[in-house]
Chain A
Amino acid sequence: MEPDSVQRQLSVTIAHIVQRLRGSKLHSELEREARTCLHKSEVRIESLKEDLKDFLRKSGWEKKLQNAVYRELNVLPHPGHPAAPPEHTKESLMYLRRAQVNWEKRVLKSLNSMCAELGIPLAKKRSADEQKELLNKWNEMGTDEPDLSHFRPVYAPKDFLEVLINLRNPNYDGGDPTGLRSSWGLISIPLPVKDLSELRELFAELALNYEQLGIDDSMQIPVELFESEYIRLGQRVLSEQDSAAAQQYIRQGCPTGLRADMWALILNIDNQLEDSLYYEQLKSNVIQHDLLIDNLIYKDVKLTASNDDYYFVFEDYLYQVLLCFSRDTLVLDHFSYSSASPPKSYIRGKFALEDYTVVYPPNGVIPFHGFAMYVAPLCFLYHEPSKLYQVFREMYVRYFFRLHCISSHSSGIVSLCLVFETLVQTYLPQLFYHLREIGAQPLRISFKWMVRAFSGYLATDQLLLLWDRILGYNTLEILAVLAAAVFAFRAENLMEATSLATAEAVLADLSTLKVMPLLQLFLFATSS
């Protein structure tokens, strides 16, 4: 790229970030700090600007600003063409945009028909008695057993998979009518995805010559060789309070004792008073209004986390977090860089009148079967509801939303499916061919793992090591690599499978897998 356009792009980026941070809480805090420090002796009128900057640096405020900027950089969408319409920022490929819109229509229709069928309004205000009852029960909603038999999840991952399988680029002609040269897999659109050598470059710190948590901290290895020093380094990173450094550090994994703080630092969450108050406000919104969605959330938790050996203990936290999440309009922010748009509904009697549309649910996210599992692993790290909530929300608006939208983004679920299928076809062709022959397309088995970011499939300590790397590399591509690595690991048994059911059985239990050795072996020991 010419230096001119690089410069231009930089100023666009800077302008974008400045706009996002202007008027934020951090902005007003910085102003306040700057004003108070005017009284200090080290700040002189002659060199006001330099002294001010010096002061802010020394008192740690520059670091906070840096972290905030870094956070924005992490979610910054690709800079588009200056003349492109706003939809382009969300998703630049029109056919995918259209597919996402259609999918959203289907989901909303399903929700509305459930609502009409059951005769329950999408939202209604709770009576004073009901409010009081819910408030009393707030910490133990799990023990209430309303009749949920008529509710069904709006959709499950496999429904979404069918939609992805049917995606077609109308402009594309692969010139391969027999399909022999093309992909054997289910995804039929030509998105550019990274190949193994590019993935190796991306995940450089997972290479065999780097030490890792999840490998070099095992029982047989004395702590002095790696672990102790790595923990000390982590403590230093935390004391520096530098998001970018933490993100680099965590690529080799995070010690369990430091993980809660490290994730909060990387996600730029400081859990101040305002955040707790905001959470309380969300809670009061939940108490006051009953949403149809609430029953879906309730049912989802009961079907998934409540039956899980690792997460059943935290059932009550899940209700608290998810109910508040659905009321949180700050989440709407992420739609500016997501290919999705929030579903709109209409106030009764005012159908199709633009002024009377409301976003439903308030946060624009309709939960699907298994949604609660995004929150569950976080309960191992945070036992304070407000902090747990913030970490989850940030994880959702940075990563998880991409797992259930149709987009061309490299971390989007479509790209992940393509990466997975390409890796398996390229490096395990015999296995792929065999599985196709027995009617067990690999993606049909691995899709659910990737949509849930492996939550509920791996043992929790392994899952957390995996999510360390998601945070460290700021990408979900590692999920696709792991999925391929699992197939490679169980290839022998899979070759003996004779049907989809037996193939599923071979891959039913991932709870004994050690994630890091699998990733390392697949990435760096597979012959290309």
Chain B
Amino acid sequence: MAGKVKWVTDIEKSVLVNNFEKRGWSQTSTDEDWNFYWMSVQTIRNVFSIENGYRLNDDQIVNHFPNHYELTRKDLMVKNIKRYRRELEREASPLVEKDENGKYVHLDFIPVTFMLPGDYNLFVEEFRKNPTSTWIMKPCGKAQGKGIFLINKLSQIKKWSRDSRTTTFISPAGKEAYVISLYIDNPLLIGGKKFDLRLYVLVTSYRPLKCYMYRLGFCRFCTMKYTPSTSELDNMFVHLTNVSVQKHGGDYNPIHGGKWSVSNLRLYLESTQGKDVTDKLFDDIHWIVVHSLKAVAPVMINDRHCFECYGYDIIIDDKLKPWLIEVNASPSLSSTTANDRILKYNLINDTLNIVVPNGEMPDCKWSRCPPKEALGHYELLYDEELAQNEGVECEGKPRMGPSLNKGNRLKDTRKPFSTWK
């Protein structure tokens, strides 16, 4: 059916609208026929809900998977990863090798986490093993750093214990549910400040898994010097890197917005720590992304009308080990600085170029095999179909740009070929 691509968006951001308009697409509303809908997470819930959901046509594409929350809700992500590890254990896969302390050698990339109130007793047991440790409480359903606080005493989370002991009714995974994770109190500091990494990952299919990493991620720095001192546990400007939090600090600078490109990070780490350990760090980060996706792949509804661009939040500790903090289904498309705007504009542009090839009418049956030239700033992270067909690792072998690994993955004996199937 010839004609202009018709788009709808729930999110009124210029980086989206400008990209649609530059392709000559025409805006429409939900009442009309549309081809491309950039939805909010509420809308995707409705579209696929049992009561008032509706079937999508072949020429309709949306930007979320129906049950993305399996990855993007903090408690479900942890549950799925734990389940994935157990499955691998049953298969006696070399991936779930453990060290002498019982820690996973290859799959230990989320900090120890418990669901509250459900796992309260388990948490207490773990807490007592290390009574001086700090833990971070995060509400399951919120974003932007809202409702997060740190604790270092059991008394600070008494109310979750009361619920657990006195009620037999397990509250549904609703707004009151929290996860509590071991706080990474030894983050890698640069210039004395804590930072985290925001990376964008595009998934065009879960079975077979096809994912792409955006080269232009960035680091978000706290404005205040990091200190693990207990007197500053309440100071969110020291601990939380969310821009929405840091923006309100007295030292927030709107020119750079506390953001550093990943290529700067790479240059700094290579210069101060050496190329090999830096390459390994970025390898480890890719590993985390791929395995987190593999963990949820079996439970994801692999609807052909869907793709999704996730915002991965990663923290690096002072031993250069990356930790997955969380995955965001709707990474912010607001721009805090000029560079930011350019980055996000390019992100959407490159994403659209992949999922709606050649700017033609969206087709849910598209091949999902974009040629290398069409990737823009994305690069192939993992393509399960290709891996199975070629019988070799196809995880990003050709030389990457400066922000990603240029090393020779095939030499890495830690990850034997069989694990990538």
List 15 A-B residue pairs with CB atoms under 8 Å apart, sorted by A's residue number: A140-B192, A223-B406, A256-B267, A256-B270, A256-B271, A257-B275, A260-B271, A312-B253, A312-B256, A314-B191, A380-B267, A381-B272, A382-B272, A383-B272, A460-B264
Of B11-19, B59-67, B108-116, B394-402, which binds chain A? B394-402
Q: With A307-B256, A308-B256 known to touch, is A139 a contact of B192 (CB < 8 Å)?
A: yes
Chain A residues lying within 8 Å of B259, measured Cβ to Cβ, are 309
Interface contact A380-B271, CB-CB below 8 Å = yes
Interface contact B256-A255, CB-CB below 8 Å = no
Q: What is the interface of chain A mostly: helix, strand, loop, or mixed?
A: helix
Q: In the complex, what distance in Å separates the CA atom of A174 from the CA atom of B48? A: 85
Chain A residues lying within 8 Å of B391, measured Cβ to Cβ, are none
Interface contact B264-A139, CB-CB below 8 Å = no
Interface contact B399-A223, CB-CB below 8 Å = yes
Chain B residues lying within 8 Å of A382, measured Cβ to Cβ, are 272
Kindly name the residue among A143, A220, A307, A313 whose own CB sees the greatest number of chain B CB atoms within 10 A: A313
A259 located at the interface, meaning its Cβ lies under 8 Å from any Cβ of chain B in the complex: yes
Interface contact B191-A316, CB-CB below 8 Å = yes
Tell me the smallest distance from the CB of B420 to a CB of chain A, in Å: 23
Interface contact A219-B400, CB-CB below 8 Å = yes
**CB-contacts of A216-264 with B (<8 A):** 219-220, 222-223, 231, 255-257, 259-260
Chain A residues lying within 8 Å of B402, measured Cβ to Cβ, are 461
Interface contact A309-B272, CB-CB below 8 Å = no
Interface contact B267-A142, CB-CB below 8 Å = no
B224 located at the interface, meaning its Cβ lies under 8 Å from any Cβ of chain A in the complex: yes
Interface contact A313-B271, CB-CB below 8 Å = no
A259 and chain B: residue at smallest CB distance:
B271
Q: In the complex, what distance in Å separates the CA atom of A379 from the CA atom of B193? A: 14
Chain A residues lying within 8 Å of B190, measured Cβ to Cβ, are 313, 383
Interface contact B267-A315, CB-CB below 8 Å = no
B307 located at the interface, meaning its Cβ lies under 8 Å from any Cβ of chain A in the complex: no
Contact with A along B184-225 (1 / 0, CB 8 A): 000000111100000000000000000000000000010111
Chain B residues lying within 8 Å of A143, measured Cβ to Cβ, are 223-225, 251
Q: With A139-B225, A220-B399, A223-B406 known to touch, is A380 a contact of B256 (CB < 8 Å)?
A: no
Interface contact B275-A255, CB-CB below 8 Å = yes
B339 located at the interface, meaning its Cβ lies under 8 Å from any Cβ of chain A in the complex: yes
Interface contact B264-A310, CB-CB below 8 Å = yes
Tell me the smallest distance from the CB of A391 to a CB of chain B, in Å: 12
A459 and chain B: residue at smallest CB distance:
B263
B274 located at the interface, meaning its Cβ lies under 8 Å from any Cβ of chain A in the complex: yes
Chain A residues lying within 8 Å of B366, measured Cβ to Cβ, are none
Tell me the smallest distance from the CB of A324 to a CB of chain B, in Å: 17
B275 and chain A: residue at smallest CB distance:
A257
A binding-site residues for B, Cβ under 8 Å: 139-140, 142-143, 145, 219-220, 222-223, 231, 255-257, 259-260, 306-310, 312-317, 379-383, 460-461
Interface contact A256-B264, CB-CB below 8 Å = no
Chain A residues lying within 8 Å of B127, measured Cβ to Cβ, are none
Tell me the smallest distance from the CB of B272 to a CB of chain A, in Å: 5
Q: In the complex, what distance in Å separates the CA atom of A315 from the CA atom of B253? A: 12
Chain A residues lying within 8 Å of B92, measured Cβ to Cβ, are none
Q: In the complex, what distance in Å separates the CA atom of A139 from the CA atom of B189? A: 13
Q: Which of A219, A308, A312 contacts B399 (CB 8 A)?
A: A219
Tell me the smallest distance from the CB of B395 to a CB of chain A, in Å: 17
Chain A residues lying within 8 Å of B258, measured Cβ to Cβ, are 312
Q: In the complex, what distance in Å separates the CA atom of A379 from the CA atom of B259? A: 17
Chain B residues lying within 8 Å of A222, measured Cβ to Cβ, are 399
Q: Which of A309, A312, A380, A461 contacts B339 (CB 8 A)?
A: A309
Interface contact B256-A140, CB-CB below 8 Å = no
Interface contact A256-B275, CB-CB below 8 Å = yes
Q: In the complex, what distance in Å separates the CA atom of A507 from the CA atom of B191? A: 31
Q: With A219-B400, A379-B191 known to touch, is A460 a contact of B267 (CB < 8 Å)?
A: yes
Q: In the complex, what distance in Å separates the CA atom of A308 from the CA atom of B399? A: 30
Q: In the complex, what distance in Å separates the CA atom of A315 from the CA atom of B224? A: 12
B259 and chain A: residue at smallest CB distance:
A309
B104 located at the interface, meaning its Cβ lies under 8 Å from any Cβ of chain A in the complex: no
B219 and chain A: residue at smallest CB distance:
A313
Q: In the complex, what distance in Å separates the CA atom of A163 from the CA atom of B225? A: 42
Tell me the smallest distance from the CB of B237 to a CB of chain A, in Å: 10
Q: In the complex, what distance in Å separates the CA atom of A461 from the CA atom of B253? A: 23
Interface contact B260-A313, CB-CB below 8 Å = yes
B50 located at the interface, meaning its Cβ lies under 8 Å from any Cβ of chain A in the complex: no
B170 located at the interface, meaning its Cβ lies under 8 Å from any Cβ of chain A in the complex: no
Q: In the complex, what distance in Å separates the CA atom of A142 from the CA atom of B192? A: 11
Q: In the complex, what distance in Å separates the CA atom of A30 from the CA atom of B338? A: 57
Chain A residues lying within 8 Å of B267, measured Cβ to Cβ, are 256, 380, 460-461
B417 located at the interface, meaning its Cβ lies under 8 Å from any Cβ of chain A in the complex: no
Interface contact B274-A315, CB-CB below 8 Å = no
Tell me the smallest distance from the CB of B12 to a CB of chain A, in Å: 28
Q: With A223-B399, A257-B274 known to touch, is A309 a contact of B260 (CB < 8 Å)?
A: yes
Contact with A along B25-66 (1 / 0, CB 8 A): 000000000000000000000000000000000000000000
Q: In the complex, what distance in Å separates the CA atom of A460 from the CA atom of B274? A: 17
Interface contact B251-A142, CB-CB below 8 Å = yes
Kindly name the residue among A140, A223, A231, A306 whose own CB sees the greatest number of chain B CB atoms within 10 A: A140
Chain A residues lying within 8 Å of B253, measured Cβ to Cβ, are 306-307, 312
Chain B residues lying within 8 Å of A312, measured Cβ to Cβ, are 253, 256, 258
Tell me the smallest distance from the CB of B276 to a CB of chain A, in Å: 8
The 5 A-B residue pairs whose C-beta atoms are closest, nearest first, are A257-B275, A313-B191, A256-B270, A140-B225, A307-B255
Chain B residues lying within 8 Å of A142, measured Cβ to Cβ, are 251
Chain A residues lying within 8 Å of B263, measured Cβ to Cβ, are 461
A218 and chain B: residue at smallest CB distance:
B399
Interface contact A380-B268, CB-CB below 8 Å = yes
Q: In the complex, what distance in Å separates the CA atom of A259 from the CA atom of B270? A: 9
A309 and chain B: residue at smallest CB distance:
B256
Q: In the complex, what distance in Å separates the CA atom of A314 from the CA atom of B253? A: 14
A231 and chain B: residue at smallest CB distance:
B275
Chain A residues lying within 8 Å of B221, measured Cβ to Cβ, are 313
Q: In the complex, what distance in Å separates the CA atom of A528 from the CA atom of B118? A: 79
Kindly name the residue among B190, B253, B268, B400 whose own CB sees the greatest number of chain A CB atoms within 10 A: B268
Tell me the smallest distance from the CB of B240 to a CB of chain A, in Å: 17
Q: In the complex, what distance in Å separates the CA atom of A383 from the CA atom of B274? A: 13
B260 and chain A: residue at smallest CB distance:
A313
**CB-contacts of B268-291 with A (<8 A):** 268, 270-272, 274-276, 278
Q: In the complex, what distance in Å separates the CA atom of A300 from the CA atom of B372? A: 46
Chain B residues lying within 8 Å of A306, measured Cβ to Cβ, are 253
Q: In the complex, what distance in Å separates the CA atom of A43 from the CA atom of B286? A: 58
Q: With A139-B225, A315-B191, A461-B402 known to touch, is A381 a contact of B264 (CB < 8 Å)?
A: no
Known contacts A143-B223, A257-B274, A315-B191, then 6 further A-B pairs from the complex at CB < 8 Å, ordered by chain A residue: A143-B224, A220-B399, A222-B399, A223-B399, A257-B275, A382-B272
Q: In the complex, what distance in Å separates the CA atom of A518 from the CA atom of B406? A: 25
A306 and chain B: residue at smallest CB distance:
B253
Chain A residues lying within 8 Å of B251, measured Cβ to Cβ, are 142-143
Q: In the complex, what distance in Å separates the CA atom of A51 from the CA atom of B275? A: 42
Chain A residues lying within 8 Å of B255, measured Cβ to Cβ, are 307, 309
Q: In the complex, what distance in Å separates the CA atom of A219 from the CA atom of B399? A: 6
Chain A residues lying within 8 Å of B256, measured Cβ to Cβ, are 307-309, 312
Q: In the complex, what distance in Å separates the CA atom of A310 from the CA atom of B262? A: 11
Chain A residues lying within 8 Å of B406, measured Cβ to Cβ, are 219, 223
A256 and chain B: residue at smallest CB distance:
B270
Tell me the smallest distance from the CB of A139 to a CB of chain B, in Å: 6
**CB-contacts of B376-421 with A (<8 A):** 399-402, 406
Kindly name the residue among A255, A308, A310, A312 whose own CB sees the greatest number of chain B CB atoms within 10 A: A312
Q: In the complex, what distance in Å separates the CA atom of A231 from the CA atom of B258? A: 33
Chain B residues lying within 8 Å of A315, measured Cβ to Cβ, are 191
